[in-house]
Chains A and B, each alone.
Chain A
Amino acid sequence: MNGRKQTLLAIVIALVAIALPLVTPDYRAQIALLWVMVLFAMTWDILGGQTGYNSFGNVVFFGIGMYASAVVQRDSGLDYFVALFLGMGLGGLIAVAVAAILGSMVLRMRGHYFAIATLGLGIAAAELAAGWEFIGAGSGMTTPLYPGDPGVQYLFFCYLFFALTAVVFCLLAWLYRTRFGLALNAIRDNEDKAEAMGLRTGLYKTVAWMIAAFFLGLTGGAVGNLLRFVDPRDTAFAGATYGVWMVLMAILGGKGTLWGPVLGAVVFHVTQELLWTHLLGWQRVALGLIIVAIVVFFPQGILGWARERWPERFGHKVEAS
């Protein structure tokens, strides 16, 4: 796909995204969650796909955003929207700081060691939150009621998450074309070589994680208000659901690509909702089977598979000289 076709596709998606919640009011909550899933997959892919560091701990940044926002809304006494946006921003900043600190430590590990260490981060964060009275400990926190009609509430979150998705998408589309994006890819393909060429690999990896953390923090800050409840293990630091889904969605669509995580998140979310609806009681089993099928038949993801199948469509061809 060339640049013009991609822009056209993005515009069509944007128009659908704006019209859809108006046409189908019953699905507004689901559409809002769909954008959250897209955000999960896109932010995960910055480090996981583009840089080759499979993190199972990104949910930490999401949870930090959720709690930061809930605390600001509880204690600041400000108007709902002011407190919400202030809380989201604060969550994003704290998440960035945490990513910088954690990154300088765990990003020294590579491959499986990094993946396992980050898995531990998510669990540790959940246990810490579940033991801290200030943020409700094990019983979690409730977020304030939206000042207005519930239907309008979901419409607001649809557009809020879509706006965030659009910003992140455009930012990444630009970032992956810069030399910074190439440096991340270089680290993914051969980190020793990247070091031997003089790249500041440690710095780049940490910055990549900080970018992901910032947007996950913002997302988390708003999701707390969408779900109306912040629970340390089930929503905020939900490693077994959100934490794993992020990885799955990016892999399903094709990690290391711009569109792959978007595609993967949409396919995943729609499939999951259909399973809930039509296979109640068996939805987790069906989801498990789908995950196995993805790994066996599409290890490169949908876009990765397409790239192997039609390399010339992705520009990989020998030129007659």
Chain B
Amino acid sequence: MSAQLVVEQATKRFGGVVANDSISIEVPQGSIVGLIGPNGSGKTTLFNSIVGYHALDSGSIRFEGQEITSLRVPEIARLGLLRTFQQTRIYGKMTCMENMAASDGECGRGIFDLLRPVSAETRENAEALLEFCGLHSKRHLRAGDLSFGQQKLLEFAMALMAKPSMLLLDEPTAGINPTLINGLIERLKRANQDLGITLLVIEHNMRVIMNLAEHIYCLAHGELLAAGSPEDIRNDKRVIDAYLGAH
């Protein structure tokens, strides 16, 4: 398996705080990779660096062989590398269907392609994906009126609508009730297997990440602490210490 995303020696400082200290990770094509670590360990900072929210102080990031270190957010998104947010971000005053239609295959399209009404094909795709995420009956509600958990699902559906080749998910199960979480794990796995989308997932819920990921990276204090299979991570003393505060 070739690596679809390669982060090499990424370092990011905010003033005197080193949020990411020469971190290197690889995400193989078609895999599900987990990123864990205690609060403040630099997981979201690494995500932000990858998708172009802020420039790295040193290091490089390559996506599908292309150097993306200095590209900005929309450019990276158009390459097919999308992210979802820890605090959900959806278009609150638009209906779910409009949210979906607005997210459809923007990647690489010019303004004249936009000057067309929403096609029947787009609408069918949107309905199918909303069905997939269990939001079909709410599709004409305004997205802002949905519950937090439903908004997370909608954000996930919107990401799928854009047909990315890799999806970075920032705590997809945070704030979602336990019954819905099982459904979400199922959907994430299906998106990976059926649609072939590579997933890089930040997650605090150990049960979820151990179930989902094939390979896990653990950060602590901005450094890469451990990497390996879920089994290795579970038995790694340093990881346990980091979570319990012995580090």
Contact = CB atoms under 8 A, between A and B. Distances in A.
Interface of A: 175, 177-180, 182-183, 185-186, 188-190, 192-201, 203-204, 207, 256, 311, 315-321
A199 B141 contact: no
B125 to A, nearest CB: 13
Given A182-B94, A185-B94, A319-B137, A198 B106 contact: yes
Contact of A195 (B74, B102, B141, B142): B74
B118 A182 contact: yes
B90 to A, nearest CB: 7
Contacts of A318: 137-138, 140-141
A199 B93 contact: no
Contact of A316 (B78, B114, B140): B140
A267 B51 CA distance: 48
B138 A179 contact: no
A197 B93 CA distance: 17
Contact of B158 (A175, A197, A207): A197
Given A185-B102, A186-B94, A186-B102, A198 B162 contact: yes
Contacts of A180: 111, 114-115
B173 to A, nearest CB: 20
11 contacts: A178-B114, A178-B115, A178-B116, A179-B116, A180-B114, A186-B99, A194-B91, A194-B102, A195-B77, A196-B85, A198-B75
Nearest to A320: B137
B139 A179 contact: no
Contacts of B99: 186
A175 B145 CA distance: 26
A178 B102 CA distance: 10
A189 B106 contact: no
B104 A179 contact: yes
B137 A189 contact: no
Interface string B60-74: 000000000000011
Contact of A188 (B83, B93, B95, B158): B93
Interface in B77-125: 77-78, 82-83, 85, 89-95, 98-99, 101-104, 106-107, 111, 113-118
Most buried by A among B83, B107, B141: B141
Contacts of B102: 179, 182-183, 185-186, 194, 197, 199
A67 B113 CA distance: 35
Q: Which 8 A-B pairs have the closest CB atoms?
A: A198-B77, A189-B91, A193-B89, A321-B137, A180-B114, A182-B102, A198-B78, A186-B102
A29 to B, nearest CB: 37
Contacts of B158: 197
A120 B136 CA distance: 47
B91 A319 contact: no
Given A182-B102, A185-B94, A317-B141, A196 B114 contact: no
A111 B136 CA distance: 34
The range of chain B's interface size is 35 or more
Nearest to A204: B111
B93 A186 contact: no
A198 B159 CA distance: 11
Interface string B140-166: 111001000000000000100010000
B139 A190 contact: no
A263 to B, nearest CB: 19
B90 A190 contact: yes
B142 A316 contact: yes
A144 B166 CA distance: 64
B142 to A, nearest CB: 6
Contacts of A190: 89-92
B85 A193 contact: yes
Contacts of A204: 111, 114
A180 B113 CA distance: 9
A233 B28 CA distance: 64
Given A182-B118, A186-B94, A319-B139, A198 B89 contact: no
A126 B73 CA distance: 38
Nearest to B134: A321
Most buried by A among B91, B102, B116: B102
A196 B140 contact: no
B73 A196 contact: yes
A189 B92 contact: yes
Nearest to B75: A198
Contact of B83 (A196, A207, A256, A321): A196
Given A183-B114, A188-B93, 11 more contacts: A178-B115, A182-B101, A183-B106, A194-B102, A195-B77, A196-B51, A197-B77, A197-B102, A200-B74, A200-B111, A315-B95
Nearest to A186: B102
B42 to A, nearest CB: 20
Nearest to B164: A198
A177 B123 CA distance: 13
A45 to B, nearest CB: 14
B111 A207 contact: yes
A178 to B, nearest CB: 5
A117 to B, nearest CB: 23
A197 B114 contact: no
